[in-house]
Structure formats: C-alpha cells, structure tokens
C-alpha cells in the first residue's frame, strides 16, 4: 500500500496462507516473505473486522494507525507490527512465529496475545496497555521500553518474565504469575501499585533504583519476593512464602506497613549483599517481619 489514510474493513473475512505454527508457544513449520497487509510506509491506515491466518507475515502498518476487532494467528513472523501514535483494541494474536503484537508507540486495549514464539506484547517508549492478557509466550508476556504503562492486565505462563519494563514505567492493578522468569521487572524510577506477583520461577518483583512498590501481594516465588535498587520505597505490601528473602533493599531505601511472613525460612528482609554494610535502610514503622525479632 502506498496511499495515506486508507480504511480496510475485512467484513468478517480471512486473509489466509499456507503456513502453520503449532505448539504452545508456537514453533512455525516453515517461514516465508510478504505480508497479509503491508502499509508500513504510509500513515493513517485503519484495519478492522477480520482475520489473518497462516501467512508468512501478518499486518505491518505505519504511524497514526488503528487496528480493531482483528485476529492474527499462525503467521511465521510478527502478528502485528505498528508504528507510532497507533491505537489497537480487541485484538487476538496467537501462535505467531515472533512477537504477537509490536507497537512503536501507542495504546493497546482489551486484547490477548497467547502462545507466540516471541513476546506477547512489545512496546517502544511511552506505550500503554490496558485490560489485556499475555499467556504462554516464548519470551516475556509484556515487554516495554521507557515510560510504558500497564494496567488491569494479566501475564502468566510465559517462558521469560511476565512483565519486563524499562525506566519510568508504571504497573497498576495487574497480575503476573507462573512465569518461568521474574514476575515483574522494572527499570529506574518505575512504580508498581495494587498488583500481584506469585508462583514465578524467579523473583516476584525485581526493580532498579528509585522505584516504588505499594499495596501489592508478592508470594510463593522461587527466588526472593521483592528486590530493590538504591533509594526505593516499599509501602503496604504482603510478602509471603517466597523461597528467598521476602525483601532485599538497596542503600537509602525506606519501607513501612509491610507484612513479611514465611520467606527464606524465617529471614524475612535484609540489605542487599552487594552493597556495603554501612549502607542505610529506613524502617518507617508498622512493618511485620515474621519470626525475625526486629525488622532491619
């Protein structure tokens, strides 16, 4: 396509090809070239109301685009690749040979990315995803660069981290569980609130410097519960039954109103082993640290 501002209504029909990608996550039988819809070099394209199945590549669409009510299944590369300033909603991307949906910058709502060979959802900077699920993908469930916002989402049974975001990102009212890696990984200056991370193969939450984790539940992970970089804060969380420490701090971090029980055989919280013993941790009060006599 070489014209801007074109609307494509598939009318409930399917664009189909000869390829298949069986498995959970997908493993494509073969690969090819070409797209079901190729509008990558133009802007303002809209695609709605139909399906793509078994093509070499799915939908490639440029800036200021819209994709709504579309299923993309068993393509041998990315299901949907979208540029900046795009809006995607009510999408199903399943069993594709790379990422389910990749957006340079934009929003995704009410969508599902399951059983893709790469990540379920992947963002450039400043993306937003709401009300969506990422399950059984081959790497991370939801992956985003700086400034990504995740709200009301679920990431489960992925072979990497459930949610993996870079600096300045936010996770709100979301759940990450039963992933092979860390439940939620967060870059510097990020925020997690009202969320849960449990039964993951790595830590429940691993966050860089100057991050905040509040009003969340972190439990039964196979590594530590919450791991924080320097200058972070932890407020009002329930941290229970993790194999490693419930809470591990960086220098200058503060915590209050947390409940830590049944972690690491009773050693609930400590300063990170990689920092000097002279580092300062601020216990701001009302913390409960299980069988530890005093919270650090």
pLDDT in tens, 135-182: 999 999 999 999 999 999 999 999 999 999 999 999 999 999 999 999
Question: What's the pLDDT score for residue 277?
Answer: 53
The model's pTM: 0.95
Indicate whether 47 belongs to any domain: yes
188 with 117, same domain?
A: no
CA distance 209 to 192: 13
Question: What's the pLDDT score for residue 273?
Answer: 54
Indicate whether 161 belongs to any domain: no
239 with 118, same domain?
A: no
Indicate whether 103 belongs to any domain: yes
Residue span of the structural domain in which 7 resides: 1-149
Element (H, E) at 188: none
25 with 75, same domain?
A: yes
Does position 186 have pLDDT exceeding 80, yes or no?
yes
CA distance 176 to 141: 9
Question: What's the pLDDT score for residue 272?
Answer: 62
Question: What's the pLDDT score for residue 57?
Answer: 87
Look at residues 100, 128, 149 and tell me which one is the last residue of a structural domain.
149
Domains of the chain: total: 2
**pLDDT top residue among 281 and 44:** 44
Average pLDDT over residues 13-42: 88
Supply 290's token pair: 């299980």
Average pLDDT over residues 275-290: 76
pLDDT digits (tens, 9 = 90+) for 238-281: 999 999 999 998 889 999 999 999 998 766 877 665 545 556 78
26 with 126, same domain?
A: yes
Question: What's the pLDDT score for residue 167?
Answer: 98
Residues whose CB falls within 8 Å of the CB of residue 135, separated by 6 or more in sequence, listed in order: 112, 113, 114, 115, 120, 141, 154, 155, 156, 157, 158
CA distance 223 to 182: 9
19 with 136, same domain?
A: yes
Torsion of CA 180, 185, 191, 196, to 10 degrees: 10
124 with 241, same domain?
A: no
CA distance 258 to 162: 23
115 with 209, same domain?
A: no
Q: In which band, very low, low, confident or very high, does the pLDDT at 23 lie, cut at 50, 70 and 90?
A: confident
Indicate whether 53 belongs to any domain: yes
Indicate whether 37 belongs to any domain: yes
Q: In which band, very low, low, confident or very high, does the pLDDT at 31 lie, cut at 50, 70 and 90?
A: confident
Question: What's the pLDDT score for residue 264?
Answer: 87
> Please, what is the average pLDDT of the chain?
93
Average pLDDT over residues 84-102: 98
Average pLDDT over residues 84-113: 98
Q: Which of 3-12, 84-93, 265-274 has the lowest mean pLDDT?
A: 265-274
Indicate whether 41 belongs to any domain: yes
Question: What's the pLDDT score for residue 293?
Answer: 54
Does position 198 have pLDDT exceeding 90, yes or no?
yes
Look at residues 128, 149, 170 and tell me which one is the last residue of a structural domain.
149
Indicate whether 154 belongs to any domain: no
Q: How many CA atoms lie within 13 A of 136 on its CB side?
A: 13
Look at residues 149, 164, 193 and tell me which one is the last residue of a structural domain.
149
Indicate whether 96 belongs to any domain: yes
228 with 287, same domain?
A: yes
């Amino acid at each position: 396509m070489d014209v801007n501002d074109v609307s494509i209504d598939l009318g409930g029909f399917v664009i189909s090809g000869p390829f298949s990608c069986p498995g959970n996550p997908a493993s494509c039988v073969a690969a090819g070239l070409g797209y079901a819809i190729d509008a990558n070099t133009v802007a303002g394209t809209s695609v709605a109301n139909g399906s793509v199945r078994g093509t070499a590549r799915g939908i490639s669409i440029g800036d200021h685009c819209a994709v709504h009510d579309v299923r993309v299944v068993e393509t041998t590369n990315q299901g949907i690749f979208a540029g900046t300033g795009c809006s995607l909603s009510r999408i199903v991307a399943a069993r594709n040979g790379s990422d389910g949906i990749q957006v340079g910058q934009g929003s995704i709502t009410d969508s599902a990315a399951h059983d893709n060979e790469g990540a379920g959802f992947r963002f450039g900077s400043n993306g937003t995803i709401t009300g969506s699920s990422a399950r059984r993908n081959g790497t991370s469930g939801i992956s985003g660069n700086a400034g990504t916002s995740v709200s009301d989402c679920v990431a489960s049974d992925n072979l990497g981290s459930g949610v993996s975001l870079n600096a300045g990102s936010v996770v709100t009212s979301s759940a990450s569980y039963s992933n092979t890696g860390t439940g939620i990984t967060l870059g510097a200056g990020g925020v997690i609130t009202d969320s849960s991370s449990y039964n993951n193969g790595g830590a429940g939450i691993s966050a860089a410097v100057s991050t905040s984790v509040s009003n969340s539940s972190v439990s039964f992970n196979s590594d530590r519960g919450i791991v924080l970089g320097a200058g972070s804060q932890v407020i009002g969380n329930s941290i229970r039954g993790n194999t490693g420490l419930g809470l591990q701090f960086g220098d200058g971090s503060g915590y209050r109103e947390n409940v830590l029980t049944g972690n690491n055989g009773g050693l609930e919280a400590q300063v990170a082993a990689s920092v000097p013993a002279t580092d300062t941790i601020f216990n701001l009060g009302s913390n409960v640290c299980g069988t530890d006599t005093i919270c650090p």
